[in-house]
Amino acid sequence: MGRVPAPVAVVTVDADGQRVGLTVASLVSLSLDPPLIGFAIRRDAALHELLREANLCAVSVLAAGQQDLAQHFARGVPPIALWERIPLRPGDGPPELDHAAAWLRAHVTDELPTGDHTFFVAAVEAAEPGPPGTRPLVYHGQSYGSL
């Protein structure tokens, strides 16, 4: 699968004030009517149980040049000061990373155990594109690039 370009996104939750984010390269569009997305989360990732608890998530589809954010949130476990100096969009609920290529708000509707991951299905409640001309960040051949 390393030869298949994948979008890079950060899925975030805010579970009673506990904010966690995780980089995913498994984001897929599942349906337009109703609008559904899917993504896989490792079962041992800090986000896994918090996503189940919160049920609401934000997805920031990263833009070209946001490799540092992708790396920051790829750890899967929350280090101290995880959100320090991370540019966020204003608003309530799960954090959305500023300057992304697009943003989604969704609530989890289903989950499927898949090996050491869980595949979450989420209904999109809001979708917003980034500024015109914003190029997406992709992961291909074990490195980041853009289209």
Task: Provide DSSP, 90-105.
Answer: S-SSS--BTT-SEEEE
Residue 49, domain member (yes or no): yes
Residue 137 has pLDDT above 60, yes or no: yes
What SS3 class is residue 142? coil
Residue 52, domain member (yes or no): yes
CA–CA gap between residue 11 and residue 103 (Å, rounded): 10
User: pLDDT digit string (tens) for 111-136?
Assistant: 999 999 999 999 999 999 999 999 99
Nearest Cα neighbor of 21 from 30, 62, 38, 129 is: 62
CATH number at residue 28: 2.30.110.10
pTM: predicted TM-score of the whole model, two decimal places: 0.94
User: pLDDT digit string (tens) for 69-108?
Assistant: 999 999 766 555 578 889 999 999 999 999 999 999 999 9
Domains: count for the chain = 1
Residue 99, domain member (yes or no): yes
Residue 1, domain member (yes or no): no
Range of the domain at 93: 6-146
